[in-house]
Each structure stands twice: as structure tokens, then as C-alpha cells.
């Protein structure tokens, strides 16, 4: 039995294809990084899943961030091996100078650049990088799989409210266990839970609409999101129709589906 969500995705209006976007191209060009670690290798095959690509890119950006930071740390390590005098403050400065160019999650007063590492290791990279050239932390330069965590479990939906993705946080649920995000290229609302997983996605603008109106879209989807969080299916559909996100024909298809389904 189809749901409202699957119907809207099935009958979506033709739009700029996500699969020709910079996000998708980046994924294809860099996804070999995912094959290097069994923990995230399942994201390698996210070709036909827009949200899967977004999750995969978070991991890829994390790998690239770590790689760039490791360059500075390894340069420091080489000088130590040569017996040269080294300036710890110079290492810290070189590392921090590279940080503005890296993707990150802002978490209170801290920034997370490598979300597949716990907060303590992220802090170590930024504040005490000199410790990474001596045991036991030097192992993080090459063999770090044992130190990896699930970033989606750890940072929840907050991970998507960062420069790691192009999603826009619209609203958190009153329970704080879920949040709604919008993506301008896909014209889709993504409902992401506090375990960093997708609960549902609501594709706007069906193919029967004569015109796609994207003006003030964040304000217009607010009522749709509120109804979703309140488990009010009827109100959510009314909001979709009133704000011209679905056509009359789509409304009829949804109502017909509702007669046979208890799903929201």
C-alpha cells in the first residue's frame, strides 16, 4: 500500500535533477573513501538515494578534513624525527589556519571537523595536535578504525544542520526527538530523528500542478511541518493544498489512499 510520501515522490513535478547536482558529482568522485572502512562501506551504494548521498558526503568530508589536518601534523612529526627543534605553537597555528576552509558542525562553543571521531578526539586535533605524534594517539594517523564512532547516533539531526550538507533546518519537534529540514534543489522536506536517520521525506510539487511557486517557501512549509509533528494527517494535507504544494488531482489521489491506509 502506497503512503502519502511515496505518492508525492512518485508523482513529483520535473525539477532540477539531484543526480546532476554538485553534491551527487562530489559523491561519485570521492566515494572510494567509503570503501576503505567497513563501517561506512554500505553508503558506497547510495546512487539512487538522495538522502543516502547526503549521509555519505558527511563521511567523505570527514575523511578529507582528517587528511588535510594530518598533513600539518605529519610535517611536524618529520621534523621531530630529524631531531630538529620544533615549535608547538607553530603547529597549532598552522592547523588552525586551515580550519576555516574545512566543513564542520558547530556544537555550542566547539567545532566538530571529524564527526566519525568522538568529541574528545576532535578537541585533541584542534587544541593539542602535538599529542598526535606520540603514542597512543599517533596510531590515529594511519589506523583509526577502532576509534571511529557512528556520527549519526552521536550528533543526531544536528549533524545535518552544518556545512557538511546543503540542508536547511526549518523546525525542531517540540519533543526535540526529530527535526524538519528543507533542500532547495530537491524541493523536499526531510524529517530526521535524533539518531540521525530519516523518518520520512515529503516531496513538494506534483506533476499535475500548472505552476511551481517557490517564493517564501520556508514560511509556507511551516504549517505542513507543525501538522506532521502533531500527527495530524488531515491538517498536513490541507496545508499542502492551501500553500499550493499539491494539485487538486494529487489531493484526490491522496484522499483515495487515505481511505485504505492508517499511515500518515
Cβ within 8 Å of residue 166, ≥6 positions away:
23, 54, 183, 184, 185
Rounded to an integer, what distance in angstroms lies between the CA atom of residue 164 and that of residue 153? Answer: 16
What is the structure's pLDDT at 10? 94
What is the structure's pLDDT at 90? 82
What is the structure's pLDDT at 243? 97
What is the structure's pLDDT at 75? 83
What is the structure's pLDDT at 161? 98
pLDDT in tens, the chain (264 residues): 689 999 999 999 877 778 889 999 999 999 999 998 889 999 999 988 999 999 999 999 999 999 999 998 888 877 666 656 667 888 888 888 888 889 999 999 999 999 999 999 999 999 999 899 888 888 888 889 889 999 999 999 999 999 999 999 999 999 999 999 999 999 999 999 999 999 999 999 999 999 999 999 999 999 999 999 999 999 999 999 999 999 999 999 998 887 655 555
Rounded to an integer, what distance in angstroms lies between the CA atom of residue 113 and that of residue 126? Answer: 9
Helix (H) or strand (E) holding 193: strand 188-193
For residue 254, give Cα distances in angstroms to 9, 20, 250. 12, 30, 6
What is the structure's pLDDT at 173? 98
SS3 call for 92? helix
Rounded to an integer, what distance in angstroms lies between the CA atom of residue 125 and that of residue 165? Answer: 22
Q: What are phi and psi of 164, to 5 degrees?
A: -70, -20
What is the structure's pLDDT at 260? 54
Amino acid at each position: 500500500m502506497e503512503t502519502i510520501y511515496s505518492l508525492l515522490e512518485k508523482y513529483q513535478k520535473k525539477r532540477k535533477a539531484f543526480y546532476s547536482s554538485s553534491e551527487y558529482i562530489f559523491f561519485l568522485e570521492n566515494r572510494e573513501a567509503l570503501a576503505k572502512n567497513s563501517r561506512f562501506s554500505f553508503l558506497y551504494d547510495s546512487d539512487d538515494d538522495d538522502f543516502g548521498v547526503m549521509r555519505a558526503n558527511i563521511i567523505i568530508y570527514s575523511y578529507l578534513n582528517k587528511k588535510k589536518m594530518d598533513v600539518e601534523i605529519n610535517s611536524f612529526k618529520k621534523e621531530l624525527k630529524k631531531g630538529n627543534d620544533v615549535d608547538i605553537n607553530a603547529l597549532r597555528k598552522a592547523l588552525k589556519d586551515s580550519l576555516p576552509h574545512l566543513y564542520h558542525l558547530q556544537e555550542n562553543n566547539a567545532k566538530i571537523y571529524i564527526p566519525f571521531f568522538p568529541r574528545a578526539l576532535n578537541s585533541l586535533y584542534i587544541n593539542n595536535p602535538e599529542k598526535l605524534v606520540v603514542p597512543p594517539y599517533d596510531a590515529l594517523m594511519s589506523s583509526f578504525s577502532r576509534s571511529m564512532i557512528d556520527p549519526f547516533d552521536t550528533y543526531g539531526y544536528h549533524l545535518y544542520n552544518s556545512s557538511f550538507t546543503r540542508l536547511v533546518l526549518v523546525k525542531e519537534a517540540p519533543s526535540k526527538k526529530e527535526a524538519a529540514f528543507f533542500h532547495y534543489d530537491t524541493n523536499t522536506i526531510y524529517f530526521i530523528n535524533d539518531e540521525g536517520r530519516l523518518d520520512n521525506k515529503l516531496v513538494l510539487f506534483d506533476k499535475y500542478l500548472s505552476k511551481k511557486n517557490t517564493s517564501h517557501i520556508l514560511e509556507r512549509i511551516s504549517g505542513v511541518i507543525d501538522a506532521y509533528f502533531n500527527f495530524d494527517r488531515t491538517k498536513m494535507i490541507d496545508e499542502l493544498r492551501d500553500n499550493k504544494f499539491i494539485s487538486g488531482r494529487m489531493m484526490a489521489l491522496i484522499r483515495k489512499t487515505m481511505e485504505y491506509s492508517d499511515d500518515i
